[in-house]
Amino acid sequence: MIKTINLTLKIWRQETSGAKGQLETYHASNISTDMSFLEMIDTINEQLTLDGKDPIAFDHDCREGICGMCGAVVNGRPHGPEKGTTLCQLHMRHFSDGDTVVVEPWRSRAFPVIKDLAVDRSAMDQIIQAGGYISVNTGGAPEANTIPIPQDTAEMAMDAAACIGCGACVASCPNASAMLFTGAKISHLALLPQGKPEAARRALAMVSKMDGLGFGNCTNERECEAECPKEISITNIARLNREFIKAGFFSSIM
Partner 1 sequence: MNWLTNTLWSSVGKKLMMAVTGIGFSVFLVAHLAGNLTLYAGKDAFNAYAEHVHSLGPFLTIAELGLLFFAVVHIATGATLFYQNFKARPVRYSVNSRAGGRTIGSATMPYTGLVLLLFVIFHLANFHFADKTNTTIFQIVASAFLKPEYVFIYVVAMIIAAIHVSHGFWSAFQTIGANHPKYMPYIKGASILLSLVVGIGFGCLPIYVALMT
- Could you give the strand order of the β-sheet that contains 100-104, starting from the edge strand earlier in sequence? 22-32, 4-13, 100-104, 73-74, 77-78
How far apart (Å, rounded) are the C-alpha atoms in residues 59 and 105? 10
The CB-of-235 to partner 1 minimum distance in angstroms stands at 5
Binding interface with partner 1 (CB under 8 A) = 23, 73, 75-77, 102, 104, 107-110, 172, 174-177, 179, 204, 207-208, 210-211, 214-227, 234-235, 237-242, 244-245, 248-249, 253-254
The smaller minimum CB distance to partner 1, of residues 29 and 219, is found at 219
The smaller minimum CB distance to partner 1, of residues 56 and 210, is found at 210
The CB-of-248 to partner 1 minimum distance in angstroms stands at 3
With vertex at residue 239, the alpha carbon angle to CA 222 and CA 73, rounded to the nearest 5 degrees, is 30
The CB-of-239 to partner 1 minimum distance in angstroms stands at 7
How far apart (Å, rounded) are the C-alpha atoms in residues 162 and 112? 25
With vertex at residue 186, the alpha carbon angle to CA 83 and CA 140, rounded to the nearest 5 degrees, is 110
| Contact present, 153 and 210 (Cβ < 8 Å) | no
The smaller minimum CB distance to partner 1, of residues 44 and 237, is found at 237
E strand intervals along 14-140: 22-32, 73-74, 77-78, 100-104, 113-115, 118-119
Task: For the chain, give the longest Cα–Cα distance.
Answer: 67
The smaller minimum CB distance to partner 1, of residues 141 and 254, is found at 254
Pick the closest to residue 169 from 86, 55, 88, 49 (CA basis): 86
The CB-of-8 to partner 1 minimum distance in angstroms stands at 14
The smaller minimum CB distance to partner 1, of residues 55 and 214, is found at 214
CA atoms within 13 A on the CB side of 119: 23
The CB-of-87 to partner 1 minimum distance in angstroms stands at 15
CA dihedral 44, 115, 216, 156 (to 10 degrees): 60
| Contact present, 53 and 110 (Cβ < 8 Å) | no
The smaller minimum CB distance to partner 1, of residues 59 and 227, is found at 227
The CB-of-217 to partner 1 minimum distance in angstroms stands at 4
The smaller minimum CB distance to partner 1, of residues 62 and 212, is found at 212
The CB-of-149 to partner 1 minimum distance in angstroms stands at 19
